[in-house]
Chains A and B, each alone.
Chain A
Amino acid sequence: MLGRHYLTKIVRGLLTIWIIVTFTFIALNLSGDPVDALVGDQASPEVIAHYREKFGLDRPLWQQYLAYLGSIAQGDFGLSLSDQQPAVSLIAAALPHTLRLGLLAFSVGLLLGIGLGIVAALNRNRPIDRFVMSFAVLGFSLPNFFLGILLILLFSLHWRLLPSSGDATIWHLILPAVTLGTHFAGTFARFTRSAMLEVLNKQYVVAARAKGVPRPRRVLWHALPNAAIPIITIIGLKLGDLVAGSIIVETVFAVPGVGRLLVNAVTSRDFALVQAILIMVSITMILANLAVDVIYTLIDPRMRAARAES
Chain B
Amino acid sequence: MTGMTIAEPGEGKNTLLAVEDLTVGFRTARGYADVLHAVSFRVEQGRTTCVVGESGSGKSVTCQAILGLVPRNGRRTGGRILFAGMDLAAADEATLERIRGRGIGMVFQDPLGSLNPLHTVGAQLRETLRLHTDLSELQRQKRALDLLAMVGIPEPEQRLASYVHQFSGGMAQRIMIAMALACEPQLLIADEPTTALDVTIQAQILDLLNRLKAELGMAILFITHDLGVVAEMADTVVVMRHGRVVETGPAARVLSAPEAPYTQTLLAAMPRLDVAAPVYRQRSAR
Contacts and interface: CB of A to CB of B under 8 A. Distances in A.
Interface of A: 124, 202-204, 206-214, 221-222, 225-226, 299-302, 305
Contacts of B242: none
Q: Which of B105, B116, B165, B179 has the most CB of A within 10 A?
A: B116
A202 B105 contact: no
B45 to A, nearest CB: 21
Nearest to A229: B118
A210 B118 contact: no
Nearest to A306: B165
Contacts of A209: 69, 100
Contact of B118 (A124, A203, A299): A299
Given A211-B127, A212-B97, 5 more contacts: A207-B176, A209-B69, A210-B67, A210-B108, A212-B99
Nearest to A209: B69
B170 interface: no
Contact of B131 (A211, A300, A301, A302): A211
B132 interface: yes
A210 B117 contact: no
Contact of A207 (B72, B97, B114, B117): B114
Contacts of A226: 116-118
A218 B106 CA distance: 17
Interface string B97-119: 11111100110101001111111
B98 A211 contact: no
Interface in B151-186: 163, 165, 176, 179-180
Interface in B223-251: none
11 contacts: A124-B72, A207-B108, A210-B69, A210-B100, A210-B101, A211-B100, A211-B101, A212-B98, A212-B100, A212-B128, A226-B116
A10 B113 CA distance: 35
A213 B117 CA distance: 17
Contacts of A299: 118
Contact of A301 (B69, B97, B118, B132): B118
Given A207-B114, A211-B180, A226-B117, A301 B127 contact: no
Nearest to A215: B93
Interface in B190-236: none
A212 B114 contact: no
A62 B180 CA distance: 72
B113 A204 contact: yes
A257 B132 CA distance: 55
Contact of A212 (B72, B101, B116, B119): B101
A184 B194 CA distance: 46
Q: Which of A202, A207, A211 has the most CB of B within 10 A?
A: A211
Contact of A211 (B105, B117, B119): B105
B127 A225 contact: no
Given A203-B110, A301-B117, A211 B179 contact: yes
Nearest to B109: A203
Contact of B116 (A204, A214, A305): A204
Contacts of A221: 119
Nearest to B189: A210
Nearest to A214: B97
B101 A204 contact: no
A129 to B, nearest CB: 13
Contacts of A213: 97, 101, 127, 131
B165 A207 contact: no
B48 to A, nearest CB: 19
B116 A222 contact: yes
Given A212-B131, A212-B132, A301-B165, A207 B115 contact: yes
A226 B101 CA distance: 23
Nearest to A225: B118
A206 B69 contact: yes
Contacts of A300: 117-118
Contacts of B131: 211-213
B98 A301 contact: no
A124 B71 CA distance: 13
Contacts of B113: 202-204
Given A212-B101, A225-B118, A305 B165 contact: yes
B176 A301 contact: no
Contacts of A206: 69, 108, 114
A212 B115 contact: no
